[in-house]
């Protein structure tokens, strides 16, 4: 199993990095690649949206190849104002492009999920108690990552681990428990049921053509 681990914290040496260390150490046999979004050289701002076809910078091209090769993706980030940090959001915008991650149909409102055959774990740290996130806010971050981001592109299953509250010593008090939950995800990743893996890069539609199809 090929595992791609994506650290979405803008700063190193934080709780997110520690939990991903624990995830990687708890994995069984397989190939593991780890990437920190903060170390990638790319422009996260889609100032023109899809009006202009912007090709990937070299770091994004390499990450796209790693995403294409992986069987299982792990993403971890802190929850800031209800969502992931800006650079990780920018990475989603720039990396998961039409023609690569998905492709709209010409004659109906549906689309091809071009990253199907891959599973994912999403680890979110937060000041908010997870029960409050679910009951009061409706867990928008979990629903969005499972359905509108990874699920939209074909990842299935997508497991969401919500860890909090981290403030007022919460991280220190619960660290052992959280490490155990992270380890459980890692130890069971190779048993997840996946469909046929679509070779997304090999069949990638040129970006300009994909944007034309999207607009039609």
The domain segmentation of the chain, as residue ranges, is 2-215
**3-state class of 121 per DSSP?**
strand
- The pLDDT tens digits for 161-203 are 999 999 999 999 999 999 999 999 999 999 999 998 989 998 8
E strand or H helix at 159, and its extent?
strand 158-163
Both tokens of 36, joined, read 């920190």
Burial of 124 (0-12, 13-18, 19+ CB in 10 A): buried
Q: Is 186 left (phi over 0), alpha (psi -120 to 50) or beta?
A: alpha
Distances (CA, A) of 67 to 80, 165, 182: 25, 31, 21
Both tokens of 203, joined, read 């069949």
CATH number of 2-215: 3.40.50.360
- The pLDDT tens digits for 54-70 are 899 999 999 999 999 99
Q: What pLDDT does 216 receive?
A: 58
């Amino acid at each position: 199993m090929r595992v791609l681990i994506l650290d979405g914290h803008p700063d190193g040496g934080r709780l997110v990095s520690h939990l991903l260390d624990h995830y990687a150490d708890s994995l069984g046999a397989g190939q593991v690649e780890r990437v920190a979004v903060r170390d990638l050289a790319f422009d996260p701002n889609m100032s023109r949206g899809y009006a202009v076809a912007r090709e990937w910078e070299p770091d994004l091209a390499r990450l796209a190849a790693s995403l294409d090769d992986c069987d299982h993706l792990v993403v971890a980030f802190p929850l800031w104002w209800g969502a992931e940090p800006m650079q990780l959001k920018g990475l989603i915008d720039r990396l998961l492009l039409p023609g690569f991650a998905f492709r709209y149909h010409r004659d109906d409102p549906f689309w091809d999920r071009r990253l199907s055959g891959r599973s994912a774990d999403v680890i979110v740290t937060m000041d908010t108690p997870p029960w409050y996130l679910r009951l009061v806010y409706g867990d928008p971050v979990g629903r969005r990552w499972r359905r509108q981001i990874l699920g939209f592109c074909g990842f299935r299953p997508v497991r969401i681990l919500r860890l909090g509250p981290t403030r007022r010593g919460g991280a220190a008090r619960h660290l052992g428990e959280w490490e155990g939950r992270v380890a459980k995800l890692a130890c069971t990743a190779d048993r997840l049921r996946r469909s046929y893996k679509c070779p997304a890069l090999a069949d990638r539609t040129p970006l300009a053509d994909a944007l034309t199809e999207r607009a039609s």
